[in-house]
Chain A
Amino acid sequence: MFATLLDRLRALLLAILLAAAFALPALAEPFEDAVAKFANDDFSDTDEAIGAVATSGNPLAFPIISALQDGRLSADPDTKKVFVTGADGKIIDAATGEAVDKLPDNAAAVRLNNRLRRAVEAALGGLTLLSPDPAKRIAAAQSVFRSHDESALATIDGALAKETNKAVKTAFTEARAAILLYKADAAEVEKLESVAIVKARGDQEAMALLTGLGSDLPPNVARAVTSAMASIQSNLAMWSMVQNAWYGLSLGSVLLLAAIGLAITFGVMGVINMAHGEMVMLGAYTTFVVQEVIRSRYPGLFDYSLLIAVPLAFLVAGAVGVAIERGIIRFLYGRPLETLLATWGLSLVLQQAVRTMFGPTNREVGNPAWMSGAFELGQITITYNRLWILCFTLAVFVILLAMLRYTALGLEMRAVTQNRRMAASMGIATSRVDALTFGLGSGIAGIAGVALSQIDNVSPNLGQSYIIDSFMVVVFGGVGNLWGTLVGAFTLGIANKFLEPVAGAVLGKIAILVLIILFIQKRPRGLFALKGRAVEA
C-alpha cells in the first residue's frame, strides 16, 4: 500500500518535473518559432504563424496580428527577425518585445492574400473576445456573429463561461448561436435553440444571417428558420415605421420652428414676409457670434452658449423685424403682392449684407456637449440634438400659445386678427400691435435660427432653404391658427419621411409639393381656416 503510494508519488513528481522541463521552453519557443515563420515570405507559413501566434496567449499576439492586418509588420529575410512598427511609429522586436531603433535595411512588410486576410480577421476576433474592455468584447462578438467562423467556437465557449457582464453575455450567446447554425455537425436541438436566440435579436444582421443559411437544413430547423425570418421581418418593418415616424417628427419640428413665426405675421397681419428665412439666418449668425465671443473670452461657458444665444437671437431678429415693419411694410398694408416683392428685395439685401460681413462660406457653429451624441432606443438611433430641438420647438409653441391666450398683447393681437376695424374702434392701437406682432414673429424666427444652426450649415443661404417649406406649412395648416401650423408641420414632416423610402428623397418632396397644390384646391384656406363671413374684394 505504502509502496504503491510512494510509486505514485514518484511518478507524479517525475511527471511534474518532466512537464516543467518541457513546458518552459514549450511556452517560449513555439511562439518565437511561429513569429520567425513570418519572415519566410510564404503564404502557408504565414498562415501557420497566424494560427500559432493567435493561440499562444502571448501578450504580444494582439499587436503582432493587428500590425499584420495594417501592413505594419515587417520581416528581415536574412536574420529571420520580425518587427512591429507601432501606430505611433515605435518599433519593437516581435519575438521578444524589445524596442528597436530602426528597421534593418532589407526588412520588407509581410505580405497577405485574401485567404490570409480572413484568417487575420478571425484571429483578431478571437483575441479581442478576451479583451478586458467590455465594449471591445461586444464588438468582437459582433464580428464573430457576422463571420460565424467555426474556429471561434472554442474561444467563445470559454469566454462565455467566465463572462459576468450581461450585455457581453448576450452578445457571446448570439455569436455562439450564429456559429452553431452554420456548423454542419451541430445537433438539431442546438440549432433550434440558436434560431430562437437569433430571432430574439431580430435586427437586420439577424435577418442576413438567416437568409444566408441555404436550403440543406433538417426540416424542423428549416421550418423554425422560416418562421423566425417572418417574425424578424415584421419586427424590422415595425422598427422602420418607428424610425420613419421619428425622422418625420424631427423634420416636422424643424418645419414648425421655421414656420411658426410666419404663421403669426401672416395670420395676424396677412403680410407675406419673404424675408422670414433671413430672420432665421440672422438668428443662426447670432449664435455664431455668441460662440465666437465665448470661445475667445470665456471658454468655460461654451456649454451655455445656446442658452445665451436664444434671447439674443430673439432680440436681434425681433428688432430687425420691428424696423422692417416701421420702415417698409407699414406703407404697404392692403397691397399684399407689393409687400411680397418688397420683402423679397429685403431678403436679397440681408443675405448680401451677411455675405459681406461674414463671408459666403459656411460658418462653424459647435454643438455643446449636452447636444452631441446619440442613444439607442430599440433598433433606432436617436441623436440628442434632434431630440432637444423637438422639445425646444414644443416649448416655444406652448409659450407662444400661452402668450396669445393670457397676455394683454396676445388679446390685442387676436382682436386685430379677427376684426381690425372693430379692434381699432375699441381703442387698440392697431399699428403698434402690428409692429409688435411683426417683431414677435421675426424674433421667433431668430430663435428658430439658433436651433437650426445645430443641424444645418450656417451660411447666407440658410433662410432660402426653409422659406418655401415654411410657406407650405402655413398655407397647408391654415392661416391665423397656431394649431393648424402645428398639425401642418408634423403632417408634412411625417408624410415626407414616409414617402422618402418609397419614392426617394427628391421625388418624395416633389410629391408633397404636388399634393399641397392639389390640397389647396380643395381647401383654399388650409386645414384649419378661420370661419367668417368676409367676402374677399
Chain B
Amino acid sequence: MTPHVLTRSLDRSASIFILVVAGLGVLIPLSNLLLPAGSALQVPTYLVALFGKYACYAILALSIDLIWGYCGILSLGHGAFFALGGYAMGMYLMRQIGSRGVYGNPILPDFMVFLNYPKLPWYWHGFDMFWFAALMVIVVPGLLAFCFGWLAFRSRVTGVYLSIITQAMTYALLLAFFRNDFGFGGNNGLTDFKDILGFNVQADGTRAALFALSCLALILAFLICRAVVTSKLGKVLVAIRDAESRTRFLGYRVESYKLFVFTLSACMAGVAGALYVPQVGIINPSEFAPGNSIEAVIWVAVGGRGTLVGAALGAVVVNYAKTYFTSGPLAPYWLFMLGALFILVTLLLPKGIVGTFNAWRESQKETQVANAESAALEDGVGEPKPAE
C-alpha cells in the first residue's frame, strides 16, 4: 500500500522537490562539518541554523497549504499550533538545563525560581523525558485543533468567520502565554537552553543534525500531504473547497473530512515548531501574534496555494527576502515590501509562483500539441477532418 501511494504521488515536480531538499539536507551539514572554516564552500554555522529555520517555516507553509489550498479553510491561527509545538519542545529543553541554571535548582527552571513557584506545576511533569515531549509536540496542537475544529465545523462556521475566530484563538493564547502565572515563563518565554538528548544545542554538530532532521521532516510532511491530496480523500477535500454545500448534498460528511485534515495540519505545524525552537534557541509568546500566522499564509499565497511545492518554496523565498532586507539598509522599507507583496500577489498572481509557472507550462504544452496536430493535418491534406 505505502509504496503504491508513494509512486502514485510522485510526479516530476514532487521528485525534484524531494531530491533538492534531501540533497541540501545532506550536503549543507557535510560542508559545514567536514570542510575547514573559511573555505569558500564551507557553510557557516549561523547559515545552517538559518536554513534550518526556513525548513521549519516550509513545513508550516505545507500544513497551511494542505487546509487552505486543498480544503478552502483559511486558518489565521496556524502560528498557534506552531508555537504550541515549540513550547512543548521548549519545556523539554528547559528541564534538560537541570541545575546548570542561574539559580541552580535541579527541578525548577530559572523563571519559576524567580517567580517563587513552590513546586513544578502538574503540566510540566513528564517533560524531562524526550519521548513524552515529542508525543506532546504532536498531541497538544492536534488536540486543540480537534476540539476547535469539532466545534467550528460541526456548526458550519466557514469562510471569513472561521478565519476570524482562528485569529481570536491565537490572540487569546497570546494573552494567556504573556501571563507570568500561566507557568510558561511569561513574556520572556523559554530560553537559555543547554542540550538536547545530551548534545549541546550550540554545537556545530547538533545544529547540522537538527538541520538534516528538519529537511527529513520537510520531506516526510511533503509525502504525507501528497498522499492525502492524491488519495480519494483528497478529491473530496477539493470538492469541499470548490462547493461545500454540493458535496454535503452528495452525502459526504463534510465536517469529518475537514476535521481530519485540520487536525493533521495542526500536528504538522506542531512538529515544525518543535524543530524550530532548538535551532532558534528561544520560544516566547510573540510567536502567537496574529500577524505571524497571517504572514505564514502569505508564504503559501506567494508560492502558489494548492501546489504543496509552491508553499514550501514561498516560505523559503519570502523568508530569505525578509532576512536579506531586514538586515540591510533597506530595513525600514521591509514592511512596505511585505505589504505590497500581500496586495500584488492577491491581485496579480492569484495562483502564486508555482501555480503560474504550471499554468504557463500547460499552455506551452497545449500550443505544442496544437502545433503538432495542425502539422499532422497539413501532412494528410486530403483526409477528412475528424469531428470535434
Contact = CB atoms under 8 A, between A and B. Distances in A.
A471 B244 contact: no
Main secondary structure on chain A at its contact with chain B? helix
A535 interface: yes
Contacts of B176: 506-507, 510
A536 interface: yes
Given A344-B294, A537-B243, A506 B175 contact: yes
B281 interface: no
Contacts of B282: none
A348 B335 contact: yes
Contact of B165 (A356, A475, A506): A475
Contact of A345 (B159, B167, B245, B340): B340
A345 B172 contact: no
Nearest to A510: B172
Interface residues of B, number: 48
Contacts, number: 130
A45 B155 CA distance: 82
Given A344-B342, A349-B336, 11 more contacts: A332-B346, A348-B339, A471-B167, A471-B168, A507-B176, A513-B172, A517-B168, A520-B157, A520-B161, A521-B157, A537-B245
10 contacts: A337-B159, A345-B298, A347-B339, A348-B336, A348-B338, A468-B171, A471-B167, A471-B168, A507-B179, A517-B151
Given A337-B159, A341-B301, A524-B156, A517 B165 contact: yes
Contact of B161 (A346, A468, A475, A509): A475
Nearest to A523: B155
B343 A342 contact: yes
| Residue of A345, A356, A536 most packed against chain B (CB within 10 A) | A345
A16 interface: no
Interface residues of A, number: 44
A350 B350 CA distance: 22
A506 B178 contact: yes
Contacts of B148: 517
Contacts of A348: 335-336, 338-339, 342
B152 interface: yes
B341 interface: yes
A17 interface: no
A282 to B, nearest CB: 15
Interface of B: 68, 74, 76, 148, 151-152, 154-161, 163-165, 167-169, 171-172, 175-176, 178-179, 243-245, 290, 294, 297-298, 301, 332-333, 335-336, 338-343, 345-347, 350
Contact of B179 (A337, A353, A506): A506
Interface of A: 270, 272, 328, 331-332, 335-342, 344-353, 356, 468, 471-472, 475, 506-507, 509-510, 513-514, 516-518, 520-522, 524, 535-537
Contacts of A468: 167-168, 171, 290
Contacts of B179: 506-507
A56 to B, nearest CB: 53
For the complex of A and B, 4 pairs with smallest distance between CB atoms: A345-B342, A348-B339, A349-B339, A352-B335
A506 B171 CA distance: 11
A328 B342 CA distance: 11
Nearest to B246: A537
A349 B335 contact: yes
Contact of A340 (B160, B178, B339): B160
Contacts of B244: 536-537
Given A346-B339, A349-B335, A328 B347 contact: yes
B157 A524 contact: yes
